[in-house]
Amino acid sequence: MTDRRDIVCISSIDWDFIWQGHQEIMSTLAAEGHRVLFLENTGVRAPKVRDLPRVRQRIRNWWRGTKGFREERPNLFVYSPLVFPFPYSRVARWANRLLLMRSLRRWMRATGFHRPIAWTFLPTPLALDLLRELDPQLTIYYCIDDLASSSLAARRIVPSEQRLFKEADLVFVTSEALRKRAALFSSRVHLFPFGAASIASIGCGKDASRLRPISRSCRGRLWATSGASISGWIRS
């Protein structure tokens, strides 16, 4: 592959969490020569007492790098941001957007990242703000779960996820139920089971052509293996 791209992944999990498709997809892209910045989870709800170990781990991760940034492997960088943990507070959202974008812009200038492809697993208001500020050449939302059902506090994510369905250039989902929900807001929805022993294809239609910044071949496949890891990649 000769067409190398810069990719910013807004993840719904941390890099050191249980290995899943988030890490597998981004690792594969990095191995293919694309530069990837993996932004660790900024949260879908306010933390509780049981989350204290994760808070401590985030602080340790921040110290491991340079102001939260570290190179995990060739072409793959991880950003462990420190944010105000109130994802639906307007004041916290404003402050987090300013802090994160200042850090991201400084790092992107230093590394030469330019108009990246944005791949988000997170549909929070803050994630939407970052996507708009980054001005990506392509925005992909991979909806892997019904996050609004994960807790009572997370139900407030619904409006921002609906906006993301509308604004994303491509939407991938992991189940037929999620596909039906996403299809209410977008015609660019494709079913890619996450962590199942299956291969899905979007073919070579108009949406496949939008993935050409990532890959030049025209097969449109995402290979998912059992054990919740993705061993192949989308080819368009």
In a domain, 213, yes or no: no
Task: Give domain status of residue 236, yes or no.
Answer: no
Q: What does the mean pLDDT of the chain come to?
A: 79
Residues 7/38, Cβ–Cβ less than 8 Å: no
Alpha helices, DSSP H, located in 36-147:
52-64, 90-111, 125-134
What are the tens digits of pLDDT across the range 20-46? 889 988 998 999 899 999 999 887 666
41 lies in a domain? yes
- What is the mean pLDDT of the segment spanning 82-110? 91
* Whole-number pLDDT of residue 230: 34
Asked if residue 111 is part of any domain, the answer here is: yes
In a domain, 37, yes or no: yes
Tally of domains within the chain: 1
**111-128 pLDDT, tens digit each:** 999 889 999 999 999 999
C-alpha distances (whole Å) from 136 to each of 67, 87, 120, 167, 217 are: 23, 22, 12, 12, 22
Over residues 175-210, the pLDDT tens digits come to 899 999 999 999 999 988 765 433 333 344 455 455
Provide the residue range defining the domain that includes 23.
6-195
> In CATH, what number is assigned to the domain containing residue 41?
3.40.50.2000
Q: Is residue 145 part of a domain?
A: yes
Residue at 46 is within a domain: yes
Predicted confidence (pLDDT) per residue in 145-166, tens digit: 887 776 666 678 889 999 999 9
